[in-house]
Chain A
Amino acid sequence: MNNVISRWPRIFAALLLVAVTGCAMASKQVLRGTGDLGVIIERAVGKVLIVETTTQTRITEVEGLGNLAHASLVYSRDERYAYVFGREGGLSKVDMLKGTLVKRIVQSGNSIGGAISQDGRLVAVSNYKPGGVKVFSSDTLELVADIPAAYGNDGELSKVIGLVDAPGQRFIFTLWDAGEIWIADMHNPSKPEITKFKDIGKFPYDALITPDGRYYIAGLFGEDGLVKLDLWNLEAGVERIMPGYGRGEKKMPVYKMPHLEGWAAAGDMMLVPAIGRHEVLIINQRNWKEAGRIAVHGQPVFVMARPDGRQVWVNFAFPHNDTIQVIDVPTQRIVKTLKPGKAVLHMEFTPRGEDVWLSVRDEDRVDVYDTATFTRKTSMPADKPSGIFFTSRAHKIGL
């Protein structure tokens, strides 16, 4: 007994040492969330930057993702992982907290984008070559299902665009060459149930799903107009929206295909880019009729609403891609024209819209603008930046 008591100081000292080093080790591993993180694609060098929107800083970079031309990504529902879709068919899983590449596979010859399923377990990639959709486990990136986009009598494969997730554990996508919309029900992941809608129109170039997950809308390149599918009423089939919006006038050349993802909605109004016209079209979602159009600086590429829907920011195709215009939605007027620099490729709003981040490719810079004052708050260097994606996308249908 005496022995133990006489040892007390030593035991105490040892315990204290363990406790102190334990604390020191714990403080090295700072706990943090991912809700204010994002990824910026450096398209030419196969690298992504992980950034933080609270302090507007770069945290780290992740290399080895291959060709990232036209790259996009989706987030896991815990906002921990980004699934990056590269042009040469690469699918990369990036750990946002560790700043590491978890896994990378090359799943096709040429791909365009992807989506994550409602339950977060499946990641789908839309491919140009071979045309179709491949579905992977979000956990392991193992192939779960292969859906070749075969059409016509000789089973030719179509390029696939406009892939989104939809409620009911479904993926929806559009066939560029075939002019078809397909719905893949993934309840049985290895045996997707496909519903096809044919003859929707000529050369659908991109598509979107409304944030409530009800309407799937594809834009047409080969004709004036858009098509809509009401997912609450599939029996009605596809319906045309704004047919002939070009009024038979000759189209202007389109030097970059517009995007419908990141579409804009404010109340009942939906704003989309026109094709071959320097206009933003306004569609009234109550009756799906034209509610106006706004003349803009060039061929719009992204028409994106600030999260509160009051402002819509528009960027443009070459040769007008040094400009951004801001539309005030209630008055349908342009309230600001900005010239951030050469080749503004993408915009992303912070989750509640106080800032917008712009990638200025040819200036090798990402700028952060205050959306209330239109002033540049800061910028950071980035190597030929293109897409900017914040983790708040993780919980939005269609993103």
Chain B
Amino acid sequence: MHKYLNKLKLKPEYGLILAFIIFVPGLSVFAQEQAISDSRQKELKHLLVQDCGSCHGLTMEGGLGPPLLAVDMVEKPKEWLRQVILDGIPDTAMPPWRPFVNEAEADWLVNLLQKGLSNE
């Protein structure tokens, strides 16, 4: 770190501030991506295709449950989608998935659905 700061001819204090500016926001984005490991992402995708798929269709084209294609999902608010995944919709066939999926994972699923499973 000091080596780079020397090159930039910055005092260490500035360097610290600079480091915060660069790394802290970067970290929070990074942390989310990092928190879900590759193997967990694979599991989540399997869950989505196979288990969500038993009502919403293997390709999310719909079944007893509504379709979850990108075109259906993209306009819907992320927060609401996350809540539906985690807590279900009372008095419907949509169950809560909170026992199996945490909030960051639900967000990851929302992003995947809005992007579209086939557009990965």
Contact = CB atoms under 8 A, between A and B. Distances in A.
A253 B63 contact: no
A351 to B, nearest CB: 28
B64 A176 contact: yes
Nearest to A221: B93
Contact of A128 (B51, B54, B63, B93): B63
Contact of A87 (B46, B51, B63): B63
B64 A253 contact: no
A255 B95 contact: yes
A128 B62 contact: yes
Interface string A339-380: 000010000000000000000011000000000000000000
B100 interface: yes
Given A159-B64, A221-B93, A253-B95, A67 B51 contact: no
A182 interface: no
B55 interface: yes
A361 B50 contact: yes
B100 A319 contact: yes
Contacts of B54: 69-70, 255-257, 318
Interface of B: 46, 50-51, 53-55, 57-59, 61-64, 88, 91, 93, 95-96, 99-100
19 contacts: A67-B59, A70-B57, A87-B57, A87-B63, A110-B63, A161-B64, A176-B64, A203-B93, A222-B91, A253-B96, A254-B95, A255-B51, A255-B54, A255-B95, A257-B54, A318-B51, A318-B54, A319-B99, A343-B50
Q: 10 closest A-B pairs (Cβ-Cβ)?
A: A253-B95, A69-B58, A318-B51, A256-B54, A255-B95, A110-B62, A253-B96, A69-B57, A254-B95, A87-B57
Interface of A: 43-44, 67, 69-70, 87-88, 110, 112, 128-129, 159, 161, 176, 203, 205, 221-222, 253-257, 318-319, 343, 361-362
